[in-house]
Every structure is written in structure tokens, then in C-alpha cells.
Amino acid sequence: MSGSRQIVVILKGYPRLSETFIAQEILNLQKAGLNLQLVSLRHPTDTKRHPVHHEITAPVLYLPEYVHEEIARCWRAWRRARRLAGYRKARNIWLRDLWRDRTRNRVRRFVQAMVAATELGRHADWLYGHFIHTPGSVTRYAGIMRGLPFSFSAHAKDIWTSPDWELSEKLDDAQWTVTCTRGGADHLSGLASQNDAVRLVYHGLDLQRFPEPTGGPRKRKGDDESDPVQFLSVGRAVEKKGLDTLLQALALLPGDLHWRWTHIAGGPLLGELKALGDKLGISSRLEFLGSQAQSRVLQAYQESDVFVLPCRVATDGDRDGLPNVIVEAQSQKMPVVSTPISGIPELIEDGVNGLLVPTDNAEALSSALASLARDPALRNRMGSEGMKRVHRDFDAAQEIELLLDLLGAG
């Protein structure tokens, strides 16, 4: 693919601290020599940036988040978009979508697509939308308007909370779709009319950013009050992470076990979790660090003993795929305690490199945490096995070769 041609990557927001796997993929595509243009549906809300974001040099086009805030820009886009060869087809598809989904969000996506289609340069060659729901809609409408091929990367919430009719039609219109778990790939493949419409591509880690830890074996076993076992969770405080169940499990740990728990990330349920910690009488052992740069997260992996994230299916159907933080933790020789949700068992094998417990079961979770806390030898064996699996199956170099091939740039 000529260096003068562009791959346009359409994102819900950029940059985002919680989506380092997307930033790493963008950087790897850039390193492979692709000419990239980023398009973001939203402006950033995080005040921090990971090092990977500073290395990405692709320009970013921010679309209007709300039509009324940039009405003149949207009006100009509509006047120009009407002259595009694919406008009528895109408009008709959007009207059909709007009939089934009569929301302001659906209107906003079409307006954003018109802005994207008319403000992208003439060298735009391929549109690639990260998340198949709202970014996927903008990608699809804009691609059809411009007569450009487009594709999607689907992840978790976008798969499980989107209606089947919409997923099916997007899958059939796209050149291809990639997704990061076997369960997600099977679900999407069942909705697509073509057998090869969906490809499984695991999120890889840049193993130079997550090198093998140099410290010795972790020896804490919870019998020293001055050096308690360190539990760690990284993930937004949202329902699907199961952090309320985790706090209940921590409160059930034996009284003679000394421990601390650290949480890294923001999220709308932080206040509720802190209140629950107070109610359970364990708040003095909890530390909420909020959003942190990648270097601080890596430090936390290396200083902690057990990574725990008891994921669940949320009431609206939202769920994780294979959380990238689990892969990161395993790269640092951390045993993982989690649940058999979605793609988690595709990395975590119960009893081998971690422990899997039933969802929403505080007693089982507490038992698993206690067993690992008291047995540093078991933790180190599991952590070593996890690191081997990450190096074998989750190397970003393998992921990017597959994407380059799909983009015709391999």
C-alpha cells in the first residue's frame, strides 16, 4: 500500500487511558510504515497520557460531539456531503437504521459521518473503526458516502449490547471484522452471511513495554502485619468488573491474614465502592489510586502479589472480552483470580496460571484469594506459567502482522 495513501482509524475517544490496547495497535501500525489519520468522536477527558500516546504522531480529527455546539460546521458538511456519490445510499441506510433506533445518538452519528466524509483528505484509502457500535456506525456511513472500503475491530460491550440486526448488517457491509476473543468471534460469525467475515485477533502486548520482571520471587504470605500480601485490581469501577463482590470477598478473609488491596482506574461506581468498604469495616486496607499512567500501573504489577478481577455479565448484557489488564498482569508473573466470563478462560486456566471462581460468589472468591495469599510458591509457579503464555500467544508483533495482511499492507 502506497505511503501516500491513508488508513483512517475511527475511535470513540482519543486518547483514553483505559484503551491502551488500541493505542498500542495504532503505534504498531505507524511503526510498520502506514500513513494514519485518526478520527475521534469525542475529545479526551483524561488529563494524563500513557507514553504510547506521545509516540503516536498521526494527526487527529475531532468530530463535533454535539451538533448544536458546532452547527455551522455540521451545516457545511451536509451541503458538501450531498454531492458525494455515495451520499444517497448512506442516507437511505441511516434512515432505515433510524426507523429501528429512534434516538438522538443515531442522528448524531450520521452528522458526524458527514463531517468525517467531507473533512478527510483525498488520500483517505480505508476506514477502520474501533468498536463496532457507535464508531462503527460513523465508519459505515462515512465509508459508503466516500465509496471507500471499511472494516471494524469489535471488542466487548459493542458486541454484547448491540442489536443483532445492526451487527449483522454492519458485518455484511464491511470488508472484514476482527475481534479479540473466541466467544466474541463465534457470536459475530453466527450473525454474518459470509463464513470469513470475522477473524480472531488477540490484543497483543508490546513486550518491550512489559518486559520480564527483574525482581525475585514474591515471598509474602500474610503472616507479617508490617508486610501484608498485596492484592491488585486495574479496571474502571463499573458493574461488569464485579468489584463490589470483591470487597465482600475481602471482608471474609481470615482475621489472621494480613493484606491490602489497591485499585487503579476511575469509574462511576468509585463512590459506592468506597462507601461499601466503610460499611464492611475494611476501608483502612483499601487504596483507590484513580487513573494512572502506564508506568505507574506497571510498577503496581511488579510490587503486588495477586491480580484479581471478578468479572460478570452486567444487567444490560455488557461484559468484558479478555481484559487487557489480565494479560498485562500475567506478563509480570502475577497469578490472576477471575471468573470464566467471555474470553478470560482463553488465557487463564484454572489451577495452572490462575484461579477461576463463579461470578458473584464472594465466598468462593475469598477462598481463592486466601489460598494464594498463604502460598507464595504456588503464586510464583502460576505467575511464571502466565508469563510464558503471554509471550507465546499475546505478542503484539503477531497481532500486527495479521492486521497488516488484512489491510493489504503485509
Strand 286-290 relative to strand 336-338: parallel, antiparallel, unpaired?
A: unpaired
Across the range 72-92, mean pLDDT stands at 97
Across the range 214-221, mean pLDDT stands at 87
Q: Which residue is associated with the grid cell 508469563?
A: 387
**Range among 120-124, 319-323, 382-386 rated most confident:** 382-386
What share of the chain has pLDDT > 70, as a percent?
Answer: 99
Cell matching residue 390 = 503471554
Residues 182 and 259 in one domain: no
Name residues whose C-beta falls within 8 Å of residue 293's C-beta, 6 or more positions apart in sequence.
17, 48, 49, 50, 51
Residues 246 and 302 in one domain: yes
Whether 211 is covered by a domain: the verdict is: no
Whether 32 is covered by a domain: the verdict is: yes
Residues 307 and 385 in one domain: yes
Residues 402 and 385 in one domain: no
Residues 237 and 195 in one domain: no
Residues 320 and 357 in one domain: yes
Greatest CA separation found in the chain? 73
CATH (domain of 258): 3.40.50.2000
Whether 221 is covered by a domain: the verdict is: no
E strands, 63-132, where? 124-130
Q: Which of these, 34, 45, 28, lies nearest to 8 by C-alpha position?
A: 34
Whether 178 is covered by a domain: the verdict is: yes
The number of domains in the chain is 2
Q: How many CB atoms lie within 10 A of CB 315?
A: 8
Residues 330 and 182 in one domain: no
- The residue range of the domain holding 134 is 6-204+395-406
pLDDT for 148-206, tens place per residue? 999 999 998 899 999 999 999 999 999 999 998 888 999 999 999 998 999 998 888 88
Answer for the pair 319, 341: CB distance below 8 angstroms, yes or no: yes
Q: How many CB atoms lie within 10 A of CB 176?
A: 19
Residues 361 and 400 in one domain: no
